[in-house]
Amino acid sequence: MLVAPNKETSTVCLLDDDSSVLKATSRLLASSGWKVESFSDPIAFLRYAQTHHPQVAVIDIMMPGMNGLEVQTRLRSLSPLTRVIVLTSKDDPLVRSKAMEAGASAFFLKIVDRHEFLGGIEAACSEH
C-alpha cells in the first residue's frame, strides 16, 4: 500500500542548467505544496544531497561539466534513498534506458504535462 507523501517534510531538489526551467518547475512544485531546493551546478547539488538526503531529485541530462547520468550514479553512493526523476529535452532511448536501469523512478520530457509530472513526484516520494 502506498502512503501519501508528507509535502511539509519532503524536499524535492531540482538540478538543471536552464534557469527558466528551474524557475518554472520550482513554482509548479511550490504551488502544489512541496519544499523545493534548486541547483544549476551538479557539484553544489551533490554536496547538498550528501548532507541533506533529499527524498526526490529531479535531474536534467544535458548539463555542462557533468551529465545527469553521472549525477545519478554519484547520488546513489552519497544518498542511496533519494529517488531520481529525469526531466530532459533530449528524447534518447539509450539515455532513458540507462537512467531507468540505474534506478530512476520516472523519465519525463520537457515540456511535461503538469499533472503527470506531479503524479511522478508523489509516486517517487511514496516509494520510501
Tens-of-pLDDT digits for all 128 residues of the chain?
444 555 656 789 999 999 999 999 999 999 988 999 999 999 999 999 999 999 999 999 998 889 999 999 999 999 999 999 999 998 889 999 999 999 999 999 988 888 999 999 988 888 75
Q: What is the helix (H) or strand (E) element at residue 69, kind and residue range?
A: helix 68-78
Grid look-up 534513498 returns: 81
Rg (CA), the chain: 13
Cβ-contact 80, 45 below 8 angstroms: no
Handedness of CA 25, 27, 33, 39 (dihedral sign): positive
Q: What is the pLDDT of residue 64?
A: 86
The cell for 37 is 531546493
The cell for 56 is 526526490
Q: What is the pLDDT of residue 3?
A: 46
Cβ-contact 115, 95 below 8 angstroms: no
Give me the domains of the chain, ranges plus CATH numbers. 11-126 (3.40.50.2300)
Rounded to whole angstroms, how far apart are CA atoms 101 and 53?
21
Among 18, 32, 117, 112, residue whose Cα is nearest residue 60? 18
Cβ-contact 45, 71 below 8 angstroms: yes
Among 79, 72, 82, 71, residue whose Cα is nearest residue 128? 82
